[in-house]
Copies of this chain bind each other. A is one copy, B any other.
Amino acid sequence: MITDREKAAFEAGIKLGALYHQFVGTPIARETAAAVEAAIEQAVGLQPYVTGITVRLNRDMMVSNRFGYSELAGKMFDAAITTEVGTAVCRARMRLEDDYPMMEIVEFHETTRDTDH
């Protein structure tokens, strides 16, 4: 028996792992960060079981190299994701914690709406 909460946690993990490894390495700067955030949010929003996604990239860490730009690093991510399976809602996040881009489940709750498909 696998619960809806366990499935929702699994799905949240998939999306955080995916977005990290898809976009790390992207050339970035403060003036282009918003476009990259939008692209990530829209990409993740298409994936199954996702009902909410916000991505903020830490501009303070976007220090220019000799050519005037930086590169998207895991440590820049502050992401919050919500997944729903059946009536279980899982909120999870990725954010810098002791210099590591930590991914964690924040909490679960129930919804009356059934979104499993």
Q: What CA separation (Å) do A24 and B71 show in the bound complex? A: 11
Q: Choose among B2, B20, B47 the residue that contacts A18 (Cβ–Cβ < 8 A).
A: B20
Q: Choose among B14, B42, B99, B105 the residue that contacts A65 (Cβ–Cβ < 8 A).
A: B99
- Say yes or no: A35 contacts B42, CB within 8 Å: yes
Oligomeric state, in copies: 4
Q: Choose among B17, B32, B71 the residue that contacts A15 (Cβ–Cβ < 8 A).
A: B17
Size category, A interface: 35 or more
Residue interface mask A20-47, B partner, CB < 8 A = 1: 1111111111001001101110111111
Across the A-B interface, the 9 shortest Cβ-Cβ residue pairs: A13-B13, A17-B17, A39-B39, A17-B18, A14-B17, A46-B69, A24-B25, A32-B42, A21-B22
